[in-house]
Amino acid sequence: MKTKVIRGVVWLIVSHKAKEIFSSGTFELYLLYPDDTESLVEMIGDIEYAQENGIDIGIEVGSLVDIIKQLTL
C-alpha cells in the first residue's frame, strides 16, 4: 500500500483501482499533482488523463498530525 503526504494530509494512492473505486462511489478520489496540489475527480476522463500522464490518484486518509495523535494514545 502506497501513501503520500501533501501539505500535512495523508493520501492513500489507489491509481491502479481508481476506475473501480470511482464507479462504486464509495470514496471521493483526487488527482495528486507533482506540485503538491490536488483536484477532485469529477468524471472517468479525469482518471484516464491521470493514468496516461503518470499522475497519482488518491483517497484522503486524514491529517498527519491527527493520525500521529491517534497512534500515540
Looking at residue 25, the DSSP 8-state letter turns out to be: T
Query: What is residue 20's predicted lDDT score, i.e. its pLDDT?
Result: 97
Query: What is residue 45's predicted lDDT score, i.e. its pLDDT?
Result: 98
**Side by side, which strands form the sheet with 3-6?**
3-6, 9-13, 56-63, 30-32, 38-40
Encode pLDDT of 21-65 as tens digits: 999 999 999 999 999 999 999 999 999 999 999 999 999 999 988
For the chain, what are the domain ranges?
3-71
